[in-house]
């Protein structure tokens, strides 16, 4: 067990390094010389050379990666080309906002998914099973950016119940825990919750149905255990796998919220990425993607460890 933990944590290190390398390469594959972003195109040649030396751009790629990595590890993601501010300054508030949105969306999606999937798995072939299966298929097939627009049309344009944009009154980017702000959270969170709801429903339904078919459930019933008692056993057996799927989904929500954030002008990482793409602000693009990907790597690690803790039979590797 202990060795498994050590090995799993150690395994995350090369993955994190490789993810860092991919993010580093993003700027390299971008068309155009990165030097053009720093100096004006009509700068004299010796100035260009000087700047190249200062930024380490005359070094081989591996050395450049090393220099970049050292800075990143120290928390220096570079400066935005558009605003000149450190990337981390804008990124930190954006991440907090995206986390709020993703956490709330997963809360909705996971609870709905577990309830629907659990009922469907227990009562296979019933009306509720069919309902759950259809919801799940619709949930994973819907373009969520479009669903967001439809919800805005219904709840903001037609019914005028909820705000269509931003994270707070007056378009403020700072989140606060009050009703005014909460209203802004509802539509984007519901929109974002649809995909994890579909996937969790599908997973829970499959796992619960499989467990209910196993002999130990029959044995429990034969022993005289009824509803609640059997339920506890099923939950215990389903938890590790369901948890794993949920962990991954939370990660996908963090990284995949860009489209929904664009629809609702939610001031998170997605909106930041969107504006970075339009202004060709590569440091912001690189920094945001690096942080989100690292978050995903960490989440994968936590899920694996948690799964092992819950179910000691799992010793993958």
Partner 1 sequence: MSSSAAAAELAVQAKQIALAGDGYWRGVFRRLLRDKVTMFCAFVLLCMLLAILFAPLLAPHDPYQGSMIRRLRPIGTENYPLGTDELGRDILTRLLYGGRLSWFMGILPVVLAFVIGTTLGVIAGFVGGRVNMLIMRMTDVFYAFPSVLLAIAISGALGAGIANAILSLTIVFIPPIIRVAESVTTGVRNLDFVEAARASGASALTIVRVHVLGNVLGPIFIYATSLISVCMILASGLSFLGLGTRPPEPEWGLMLNTLRTAIYVQPWVAVLPGACIFVTSICFNLVSDGLRQAMDVKG
Per CB under 8 A, residues contacting partner 1 are 15-16, 18-19, 22-23, 26-27, 29-31, 137-138, 140-143, 145-147, 149-150, 152-153, 157-158, 251-252, 254-256, 258-259, 262-263, 273-274, 276-278, 280, 282, 285, 289, 292-293, 296-297, 300
Nearer Cβ to partner 1 (155/182): 155
Least Å from the CB of residue 309 to partner 1:
22
Query: 111 or 141, CB closer to partner 1?
Result: 141
Query: How many CA atoms lie within 13 Å of 1's alpha carbon, on the beta-carbon side?
Result: 8
Other C-beta atoms lying within 10 Å of the C-beta of residue 138:
13
Q: How far is the CB of 31 from partner 1 (least distance, A)?
A: 6
Rounded to 5°, the CA angle 247-260-139 comes to 60
How long a stretch of residues is the chain? 317
Burial class (CB in 10 A: 0-12, 13-18, 19+), 78: middle
- What's the min distance (Å) between Cβ of 163 and partner 1? 13
Least separation in angstroms between CB 223 and partner 1:
30
Q: Is the sign of the CA dihedral 275, 278, 283, 289 positive or negative?
A: positive
The Cα 228–Cα 233 span in angstroms is 9
For residues 148 and 171, give the distance between their C-alpha atoms in angstroms, rounded to a whole number: 18
**Residue 19 vs 108, nearer CB to partner 1:** 19
87 vs 289, beta carbon nearer partner 1: 289
- Residue 254 Cβ vs partner 1, minimum distance, rounded to whole Å: 7
Nearer to partner 1 (CB atom), residue 31 or residue 60: 31
Rounded CA gap, 125 and 143, in Å? Answer: 28
Vertex 135: Cα angle to 306 and 299 (nearest 5):
20
Instruction: State which residue, 234 or 254, has the beta carbon closest to partner 1.
Output: 254
CB of residue 204 vs partner 1: minimum separation in angstroms? 17
């Amino acid at each position: 067990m202990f060795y498994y933990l050590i090995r799993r944590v150690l395994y995350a290190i090369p993955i994190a390094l490789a993810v860092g390398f991919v993010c580093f390469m993003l700027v390299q594959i971008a068309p155009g010389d990165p030097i053009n972003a720093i100096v004006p195109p009509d700068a004299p040649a010796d100035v260009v050379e000087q700047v190249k030396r200062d930024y380490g751009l005359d070094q081989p790629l591996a050395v450049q990666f090393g220099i970049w990595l050292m800075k990143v590890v120290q928390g220096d993601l570079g400066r935005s080309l558009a605003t000149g501010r450190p990337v981390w300054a804008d990124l930190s508030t954006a991440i907090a906002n995206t986390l709020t949105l993703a956490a709330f969306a997963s809360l909705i999606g996971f609870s709905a998914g577990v309830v629907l999937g659990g009922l469907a798995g227990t009562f296979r072939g019933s009306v509720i099973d069919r309902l759950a299966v259809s919801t799940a298929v619709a949930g994973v097939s819907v373009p969520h950016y479009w669903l967001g627009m439809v919800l805005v049309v219904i709840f903001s344009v037609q019914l005028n119940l909820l705000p269509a944009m931003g994270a707070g009154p007056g378009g403020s980017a700072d989140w606060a825990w009050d009703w005014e702000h909460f209203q802004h959270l509802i539509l984007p969170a519901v929109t974002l919750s649809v995909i994890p709801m579909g996937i969790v429903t599908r997973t829970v339904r499959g796992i619960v149905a499989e467990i209910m078919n196993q002999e130990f459930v029959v044995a429990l019933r034969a022993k005289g255990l009824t509803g609640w008692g059997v339920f506890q056993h099923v939950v215990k057996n389903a938890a590790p796998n369901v948890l794993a799927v949920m962990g991954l989904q939370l990660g996908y929500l963090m990284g995949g919220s860009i489209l929904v954030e664009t629809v609702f002008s939610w001031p998170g990482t997605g909106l930041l990425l969107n504006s970075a793409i339009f202004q060709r602000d590569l440091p912001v693009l690189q920094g945001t993607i690096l942080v989100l990907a690292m978050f995903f790597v960490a989440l994968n690690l936590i899920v694996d460890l948690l799964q092992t803790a819950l179910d000691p039979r799992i010793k993958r590797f």
